[in-house]
């Protein structure tokens, strides 16, 4: 694409070298630059991208964006074929340039941003599913990857959750080419702080909740909160959880656009209010109060917090102009994200539940919800995650103790650690580590198989912790792993024998 820098509607302070360039791709990492690229030199935690400008140009960058006037001027003498742009803020410029380069694709889609400490992945999946069911094909972007309305797409991941702006606008462009009409994305506080979504205007911004997290990055809760609040300064309308003490009030007081509020507690009035939540073996039934009417609703999801997540998806559809009756008609077909209270039906009325819960708090909440489901015995698998905090391991056992009929202790992502030491660390948290109902499994594969083999008629087998991204990290290598594939193969062999 030919770029005429002086005609760009984007502010820069100085330009050295040619004022026109033919640019084929965007990069913020010199190692990923190819012929005819533009390189954005960002100052990071460990490096300053300015150090890599020469590398980037040698690899084919024809335009470089940076902040150091002196350095860029000197480099322009060395590389006269290359354009050097001096700007105040590279990330800001990068986001706006990416949007322009990919034809402002985000403006041609309905865009929905989800922020909150918990529930972003789940809400994004519900919104994608609900809007697609309402005939608005919707893609999604977040921790579980990039999805069009039809399938998972393959991209090299630049970040765990919210992609860098160069990648983000590329994805929007691809979603449009695939005929999607909307995109829902998880917007992390870090992404907001790093201006990855700068320049976007979201049709709807969703808030789930706000509690302590990511202090290693934000340092203070106030900085964390203010980062999240930025999403709403870039949104036309908002869906707000009024039950959330962390940030609900701040939004009610400051947001001036159209707003839908939601709550699942009787004492907290909201525009969308769920009452009398009842867990059944197929999902959750509840009464929905909206605009003075009461609707009897069923959603194929489990856990009270997931009904709050469903309400936020309903609120989004309402703000996009859909009628409540049409929304509720399709709700029984709502799809859940992989690995978040994902239920797999086995033979003999056994059910396997996969859930990402990997903190003591999440495990406690999950056990509380799972136990509401009708079942005979509960078989629980917990894991120590080798690449995370070792202090958390015994705490998982403390939370699990006495909560299940059988407990299998296994390992997720051992990294460079001995898996047996990880298992020992978890088991140390039990007051009775030698209890006959505690089983050891030094790999996640063995953990899943042991748990399945303990299952009998009407049992629930709850497999927790996160084997995310389809792999186990072992000694620096990503070894492919899929709980679902192991479960499918196991039950297939059981059926064959039976």
Ligand X SMILES: CC(=O)N[C@H]1[C@@H](OP(=O)(O)OP(=O)(O)OC[C@H]2O[C@@H](n3ccc(=O)[nH]c3=O)[C@H](O)[C@@H]2O)O[C@H](CO)[C@@H](O)[C@@H]1O[C@H](C)C(=O)N[C@@H](C)C(=O)N[C@H](CCC(=O)O)C(=O)O
Which secondary-structure segment (H or E) carries 93?
helix 90-101
Contacting ligand ATP (CB under 6 A), which of 41, 76, 111, 121? 121
Q: Which tokens in the block code for residue 157?
A: 């991941």
Closest CB 55 distance from ligand X, rounded Å: 7
Residues 187, 117 contacting (CB under 8 angstroms): no
Contacting ligand ATP (CB under 6 A), which of 30, 208, 237, 350? 208
Alpha helix ranges (H) inside 300-390: 304-319, 324-330, 360-370
Check the annotation: does 256 bind a ligand.
Answer: no
Residues in the chain: 498
Q: In this chain, which residue has its C-beta nearest to ligand X? A: 44
Choosing among ligand X, ligand ATP, none, which partner's interface includes residue 118 (Cβ < 5 to 8 Å by kind)? ligand ATP
Examine residue 366 and tell whether it contacts ligand ATP (CB under 6 A). yes
Q: Which tokens in the block code for residue 473?
A: 């990290």
Residues 417, 454 contacting (CB under 8 angstroms): no
Number of Cβ within 10 Å of residue 460's Cβ equals: 24
Q: In 356-396, at which residue ranges do the beta strands (DSSP E only) sit?
A: 378-385
Contacting ligand X (CB under 6 A), which of 68, 104, 158, 211? 158
CA distance 224 to 72: 34
Beta bridge partners of 140: 147, 184
Our CA dihedral for 330, 252, 234, 125, rounded to 10 degrees, sits at -30
Specify the residue, 30 or 465, whose C-beta has the smaller distance to ligand X: 30
CA distance 113 to 244: 18
Helices 165-177 and 90-101: crossing angle in degrees, nearest 10, is: 10
Block residue for tokens 């809400």? 123
Examine residue 260 and tell whether it contacts ligand X (CB under 6 A). no
Contacting ligand X (CB under 6 A), which of 21, 30, 67, 166? 30
Convert residues 183-222 into a mask of x (bound to ligand X by CB under 6 A) and - (unbound).
-----x-xx-------------------------------
Convert residues 123-162 into a mask of x (bound to ligand ATP by CB under 6 A) and - (unbound).
--------------------x-----------------x-
Examine residue 305 and tell whether it contacts ligand ATP (CB under 6 A). yes
Examine residue 113 and tell whether it contacts ligand X (CB under 6 A). no
Contacting ligand X (CB under 6 A), which of 7, 31, 256, 391? 31
Examine residue 447 and tell whether it contacts ligand X (CB under 6 A). no
Choosing among ligand ATP, ligand X, none, which partner's interface includes residue 2 (Cβ < 5 to 8 Å by kind)? none
Check the annotation: does 388 bind a ligand.
Answer: no
CA distance 91 to 166: 10
Residues 102, 117 contacting (CB under 8 angstroms): no
Closest CB 16 distance from ligand ATP, rounded Å: 41
The region of 44-52, 95-103, 120-128, 327-335 touching ligand ATP under the rule CB under 6 A is 120-128
Three-state secondary structure call for residue 111: strand
Q: Which tokens in the block code for residue 434?
A: 């030698």
Task: Give contact residues for ligand ATP (rule: CB under 6 A).
Answer: 118-122, 143, 161, 186, 208-209, 305, 308-309, 340, 355-357, 362, 365-366
Task: Give contact residues for ligand X (rule: CB under 6 A).
Answer: 28-31, 42, 44-47, 49, 52, 143, 158-162, 164, 188, 190-191
Residues making up the annotated binding site are: 30, 116-122, 161-162, 188, 194, 196
């Amino acid at each position: 694409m030919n770029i005429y820098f002086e005609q760009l509607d984007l502010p820069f302070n100085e330009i050295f070298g040619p004022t026109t360039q033919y640019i084929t791709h965007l990069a913020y990492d010199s190692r990923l630059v190819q012929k005819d690229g533009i390189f954005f030199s960002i100052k990071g935690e460990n490096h300053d991208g300015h150090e890599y400008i020469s590398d980037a140009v040698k690899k084919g960058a024809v335009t470089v964006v940076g902040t150091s006037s002196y350095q860029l001027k000197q480099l322009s003498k060395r590389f006269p074929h290359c354009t050097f742009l001096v700007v105040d803020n590279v990330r800001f410029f990068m986001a706006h340039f990416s949007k322009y380069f990919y034809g402002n694709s985000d403006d041609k889609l309905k865009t929905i941003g989800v922020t909150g400490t918990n529930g972003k992945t789940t809400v994004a999946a519900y919104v994608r599913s609900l809007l697609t069911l309402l005939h608005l094909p919707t893609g999604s972007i977040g921790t579980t990857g990039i999805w069009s309305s039809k399938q998972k797409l393959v991209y090299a991941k630049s970040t765990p959750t919210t992609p860098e702006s160069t990648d983000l606008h590329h994805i929007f462009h691809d979603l449009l080419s695939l005929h999607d009409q909307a995109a829902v994305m998880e917007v992390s506080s870090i992404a907001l702080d790093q201006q990855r979504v700068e320049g976007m205007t979201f049709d709807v911004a969703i808030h789930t909740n706000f509690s302590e997290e990511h202090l290693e990055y934000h340092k203070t809760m106030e900085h964390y909160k203010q980062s999240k609040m930025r999403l709403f300064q870039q949104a036309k309308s908002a869906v707000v959880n009024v039950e959330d003490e962390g940030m609900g009030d701040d939004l009610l007081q400051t947001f001036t656009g159209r707003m839908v509020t939601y709550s699942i507690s009787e004492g907290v009035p909201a525009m969308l209010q769920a009452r009398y939540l009842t867990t059944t073996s197929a999902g959750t039934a509840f009464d929905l109060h909206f605009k003075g009417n009461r609707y009897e609703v069923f959603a194929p999801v489990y856990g009270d917090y997931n009904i709050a997540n469903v309400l936020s998806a309903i609120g989004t559809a309402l703000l996009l102009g859909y009628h409540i009756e049409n929304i509720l008609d399709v709700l029984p077909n709502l799809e859940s994200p992989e690995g978040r209270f994902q239920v797999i039906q086995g033979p003999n009325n056994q059910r396997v539940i996969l859930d990402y819960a990997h903190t003591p708090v999440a495990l406690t909440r999950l056990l509380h919800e799972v136990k509401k489901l009708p079942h005979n015995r509960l078989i629980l698998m917990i894991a120590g995650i080798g690449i995370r905090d070792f202090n958390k391991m015994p705490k998982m056992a403390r939370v699990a103790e006495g909560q299940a009929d059988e407990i299998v202790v296994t390992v997720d992502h051992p990294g460079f650690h001995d898996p047996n030491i990880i298992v020992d660390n978890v088991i140390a948290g039990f007051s009775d580590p030698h209890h006959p109902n505690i089983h050891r499994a030094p790999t996640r594969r063995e953990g899943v198989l042991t748990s399945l083999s303990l299952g009998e008629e009407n049992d629930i087998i709850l497999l927790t912790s996160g084997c995310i991204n389809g792999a186990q990290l072992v000694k620096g290598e990503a070894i492919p792993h899929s709980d679902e594939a192991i479960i499918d193969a196991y039950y297939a062999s059981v059926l064959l024998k039976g």
